Structure 1
């Protein structure tokens, strides 16, 4: 058993030692429980000081040991907060972890411990890192080693540092011309967009000979536009205005999910500004074309030029599909589906209608 602070109606006292109660961590500002135990039918229940299958006696023993008023006290399952009846108590498997609630108290389940743990990240980061390091030094289980190592790694980040001199390790392996993190991240995004432009240009060999000059003219227009917007490097630059960047002001990026989903089912996120490892891992994230570049957009552009028959190709529409977030999604590698998207360009937008102007972002 352990005694922790409750949400309401609780004295908020620390754990008290006795033959039944075992001291445990206090829930602090998040506290929602009165106490907990591991019990259930068989020897597990007797070890906790309560008769197997006797919920009432378990409550009485717990209340007496933890100085909780018996009237109004009850037991619930630690995992999900389900309150116990006599019949439910008798059906519990051995080593089920229970929480003793005093009058007016509630327990939402183990999520409460997670909330408390997360709160400690922000309020006591250095202490958490030191405690994790001490645990890791004596840990032998591979899974626990990884969890502790990841925790230490994530809490030891230097996210807010921007200049090279403030986080030299982040810049290891990068050219000296990059003086701050944002300049490199902007360059990283520009490089991706430039590679898309190269693919569009190299496709000219597949264009019908009679249409190549017109295709080349459209390539030149797109290149000029990309230069004017600095190849949309703003997408990865955390210093940019909110509407221009894909990250938070701190540099957190969230996966936008597969091309056929509205959001990421796994809630992937990453901050390449935080440390060198995250910067490298971010390079595996994709700016994925919803309407596929190779299978749909570029071939459709080539066909539009070939069959224009005096009409003016709406190159701005193709520009948006190829180089802007109009048709791009930032996705974790696990959310990057390389199957055929079976999507095509909007036939109504391929050619310009009259002298209508199209705003390009």
Structure 2
């Protein structure tokens, strides 16, 4: 039973990702959540598993060290060999639906019925994880906790990023091969048409105007129920500062203007090809990948490649 004020309770996924109300409504049914009350430390599933293994049998961890050693010795050749094995059969790569390729969807906790929809959602989740981990780090910084003026600007910035990411569909189309460039004459077809998006995409959720969102979502303007609270804490200071800021802007200008402007969504083009293959473009500071044509992956091909793709860093883009 949670006796605390609901606004004081944080909600995390098992991987340690902090989620908010909007993200909560996009989760699959039966998703396991972790509730964190003030002062509590959140342990992810990886932390719990590690601790359990350490208590039960240290040999498991020793085996893990041997695996690590194996992966660090001549890794280039071993990855090439693994890639060759996984790419041996590509006959089912072009299949899309759960009925056509049921083993690809095996053990996946999803309502998605096509590979494209699932990959679209996975990309959105990856971008959301980046966002929420950044928010968590910002809220734990000295500047955020001790500088009221800076806190207001950071809250506005966080709100703006959430709205802009929503406008950009959280870049879910990056992993969606149905959005790949085809090289035909349909250069400006319907890549910006949100009606082509999936049910899980935020563009299909009802929402208030962007300006209202930026005013209220993270400024945490007081609601009527807040008046009964007598505790003075940093949240209340935030609310008071926000209200004063809005009132000052009202007095300065009859029409409240927003300091940020959300840009319309651009073309929704995947970073893979029509078959779903991703090619490494190299590190951010070099031209091309040092591994050449061997550093590629197609998560649409098999369940094994889909699992391997989750470890792929896309920072090189």
Q: TM-score range by the shorter chain?
A: 0.3 to 0.5
TM-score by length of 2: 0.43
The structure with the larger Rg is 1
Structure having the higher helix fraction is: 2
Q: Which has the higher contact order (CA 8 A, sep 6+)?
A: 2
TM-score by length of 1: 0.38
